[in-house]
Amino acid sequence: MLEGKNVILRLVAESDIDELLTLANQYTEKGEFVGPGFFVETSFRKAFAENGWWQDDQGMMLATDKENRILGTVVFFQGMRHEAGYEVGYTILRREDWGKGLASETLRIFSAYLFELKPIARLHVKMIKGNVASRRVAEKCGYRLEAPSGSSASAAERTTTMKSSRYSGRIALRWPRC
């Protein structure tokens, strides 16, 4: 368990699955930058039964409050083969919890933990172009916009000219951690 001021990160327990599945499938609670897909219960439970959603090269933790109420999730996984380090993703599952700094605290704790856990020099977060809130979360935690390989465009140009990509660019954190 990793404890912050308002957030506790912990592995998912089997007793969390019903609530987590319900929250993850609440379409009205998803923001405009989260895909419209749903989790199928049998696949969801099967994936948990295989490894508890934690392996050496990928994993998920729950973000809860001090009363153990599920706030969201945070994940890491190997990104594209040519990318060093791991990609990190995070979500706060209820709109009522948005805008309270919970995603920033979650990302900050998780990023520090991954740097302690693994011999890696970088983590990165990808987001859909226009997701200003997520970009602010990443920037608060020390992540910085970085040009795609071979790009000499300024950060402002990249966010407006990468029209062929659904991503606004790569936000990356390099050692030292945030």
DSSP H or E run through 161? helix 155-161
Number of domains, the chain: 1
Give the CATH number, domain containing residue 128: 3.40.630.30
Per-residue model confidence as pLDDT tens digits over 39-48: 888 998 999 9
Nearest alpha carbon to residue 123 among 71, 75, 60: 75
Per-residue model confidence as pLDDT tens digits over 169-178: 555 555 444 4
Mean of per-residue pLDDT scores for the chain: 80
Q: Which domain holds residue 109?
A: 2-174
Per-residue model confidence as pLDDT tens digits over 37-89: 678 889 989 999 999 999 999 999 999 999 999 999 999 998 776 667 788 99
